Copies of this chain bind each other. A is one copy, B any other.
Amino acid sequence: MLSLTRKTDYALVALAMLGQRRALGLGPVSARVVAEQYNLPQPLLMNVLKELGQARIVTSTRGATGGYELAHDPAQVSVLDVITAIEGPVRLAQCCDGLPVMGQGCAVEAASCPAKGAVKHLHRRLVGLLESVSLQDLLAESEESETGGCQCCPALTIAESISRLK
């Protein structure tokens, strides 16, 4: 399925909260608080934050007043980084994607695959798209929709919505 897993959803939600806290100059926040804030299953969220920590996207401090906080400026972390940390490298197709795993699990010989070129291009454009959106954009879009200025743009054309994020 061409979709993110729920764990990635939770990661983006948690990172958005960490970004807001960073902007306010607040310290680390525990997984429990984040889970309660957004009604997420706490053990699962702890696993997600753990993986984000291993990917150096967040830093963790143990102990009674410990928790998680963003490791970098939100503008320096892309959505692709988050997805890669949680789900592993993005691979649009099993084969023909220009990655080291190329050909694995695909019955079509790479040399004779008639869809190879286009799939590779699609993959690159998808990766480019995910790289171009940062946590900073995530926070900005969130505020925009909260203030009613956007309301998720039901009337915007795709081209307009693309240009807004660029």
Contact = CB atoms under 8 A, between A and B. Distances in A.
Given A117-B152, A133-B122, A158 B39 contact: no
Copies of the protein in its oligomer = 2
B112 A122 contact: no
A10 to B, nearest CB: 8
Interface of A: 1-6, 8-9, 12-13, 15-17, 20, 38-41, 79, 83, 87-88, 90-96, 98, 105-109, 112-122, 124-131, 133, 137-142, 144-145, 150, 152-154, 156, 158-159, 161-162, 164-165
A15 B115 CA distance: 9
Contacts of A133: 118, 121-122
A17 B149 CA distance: 47
A131 to B, nearest CB: 7
29 contacts: A1-B88, A2-B3, A2-B87, A3-B92, A3-B94, A4-B93, A4-B94, A9-B93, A9-B94, A9-B119, A12-B93, A12-B115, A12-B118, A12-B119, A13-B115, A17-B114, A20-B114, A38-B113, A98-B154, A114-B139, A116-B141, A120-B152, A120-B153, A121-B141, A121-B153, A121-B165, A124-B161, A125-B165, A129-B129
Nearest to A9: B93
Nearest to A109: B39
A150 B117 contact: yes
